[in-house]
Amino acid sequence: MADDSSFSSAQGDLPTFAWDSEAAIRFEVAVEAISQAVAAYTALIERANAAGDSSRAQELAGQRSACVQAREALNSEDTDAVSEAIRTYRQVTEDLRAQDR
């Protein structure tokens, strides 16, 4: 039998944190809301490029990059930020889709 004293856990020294199903779901909803905004920006970028409006496409690409950064920075334990992301990016997506009609 091998000596278990040299065995390293996959969890290592990761800190523990409180996590419940509702928090997990809200975090995933926030990530999805931001992802939907990214997709809406992508559609508008494609439309701007097709119309030959490269300055508009670049502007939209910058805004899309900000969404990606916000998604990457979102902390599952920051419930206020998660709630704000849901509200904000749902509205952003709605506004962008209205522009795409």
Written as tens digits, the pLDDT of the chain (101 aa) is 555 556 555 666 766 656 688 999 999 999 999 999 999 999 999 999 999 999 999 999 999 999 999 999 999 999 999 999 999 999 999 999 999 77
Q: What is the pTM of this model?
A: 0.80
CB 31 within 8 A of CB 67: no
What is the reported pLDDT for 74? 97
Element containing residue 24 per DSSP (H, E): helix 21-50
User: Is residue 4 assigned to a domain?
Assistant: no
What is the sign, positive or negative, of the torsion defined by CA atoms of 43, 45, 46, 48? positive
Give the domain range for residue 38: 18-99
User: Is residue 6 assigned to a domain?
Assistant: no
User: Is residue 57 assigned to a domain?
Assistant: yes
Please tell me the total count of domains within the chain: 1
